[in-house]
Amino acid sequence: MSLGRVLVEEFQPEVLQWLRERVDLVVVNPWVEPQRWDLEASRVDAVISRKGQITREHMEKAGGRLRIIARTGVGVDPSRVDLEAAKELKVWVTNQPGSNAVSVAELVFGQMIALVRHTHAADRAVKDNRWSDYLKFIGTELAGKTLGIVGMGNIGARMAIRARAFEMEFLVYDPYIPESHVTALGGKYVGLNELLSDSDFVTIHCPLNRETRGMVGAKELALMKPSAFLINMARGGIVDEEALVSVLQQHKIAGAALDVIASEPPANDHPLFKLDNVLWTPHLGAVTLEASERGEWGAAEEVIRVLEKKRPKNPVVDADEARLLLPA
């Protein structure tokens, strides 16, 4: 007997098969079939989402049928789920804290190395038979540099551990953790302005909410060293994109590595795409086999718990109490 109808994205076959044994499954890629996603989102008892957005309109059209929105990753900001609407309409929202922490941290360090060692430009030079151009790609070492970590959650903590392994110093800005969490790992607990002005690399690992939206704007970017790099693997809305374009165009900072943008997928004519000092990835932070497996299985299990009238393990919106457990 089916527990209900569930909308999912294109997940690993084992996860989909496990769900099919318990529910009626609707599989839709929201970026390939956005209209179908919008249609089905209001016709199901549960949604498991990696990239797909669930809006107030989806929830209201569901007419009380939708019981849970289970995110496969950590992010539950408004670019993915309308948390206030979920609270008002008593829809469970869950996430998978820590599921992508290793994957994101490893990608950040990969991009940092690519930035300072010019690996992408060097690759093109070799393929263009310009081996002798090697002196144009003189880079710098990470060792001895200072890494500024904005947000010391699961990902930020792993960034700190890896920074020590790379012989880097690190600074942390996070007003929601005690200083001892930073000093215990050998770092320094500082304010945002000090972090921006003293870091050679600034990496962002905080959620997008009312407090952090636009947190890094023109004023903040102006504090960074001309030789510094900005890495954003969190959410695009945290950084003012217009201000970032300006400082990159004027080479007021050395460059950026971006995995996210305020509106995804981005417009083809976005001004950041025209800059040669920006290294892009298409929101790949959690796109590893290991992170996907942790997130997809975790979200699938949350849906089954709720459809069996049990409490989920990782609620962000508590449907029983109509309460938001994280800042919106």
CATH number at residue 90: 3.40.50.720
- Do 95 and 108 share a domain, yes or no? no
- Do 241 and 319 share a domain, yes or no? no
Q: Which residues pair with 54 in a beta bridge?
A: 81
- Do 117 and 266 share a domain, yes or no? yes
Give the number of domains in the chain: 2
Nearest to 159 by CA among 209, 214, 233: 233
- Do 147 and 212 share a domain, yes or no? yes
Q: What are phi and psi of 46, to 5 degrees?
A: -155, 155
Domain that holds residue 275: 101-280
- Do 111 and 228 share a domain, yes or no? yes
State the catalytic residues: 235, 264, 283
- Do 120 and 245 share a domain, yes or no? yes
Q: Is 214 left (phi over 0), alpha (psi -120 to 50) or beta?
A: left
- Do 231 and 123 share a domain, yes or no? yes
- Do 63 and 134 share a domain, yes or no? no
- Do 108 and 224 share a domain, yes or no? yes
Segment 144-193, tens digit of pLDDT? 999 999 999 999 999 999 999 999 999 999 999 999 999 999 999 999 99
- Do 307 and 220 share a domain, yes or no? no
**pLDDT(328) > 70:** no
- Do 241 and 123 share a domain, yes or no? yes
- If 0-12 CB within 10 Å is exposed, 13-18 middle and 19+ buried, where does residue 301 land? middle
Looking at residue 327, what is its pLDDT?
61
Mean pLDDT, residues 26-55: 95
Segment 224-267, tens digit of pLDDT? 999 999 999 999 999 999 999 999 999 999 999 999 999 888 88
- Do 49 and 172 share a domain, yes or no? no
Q: Residues 147, 168: contact at Cβ < 8 Å? A: yes
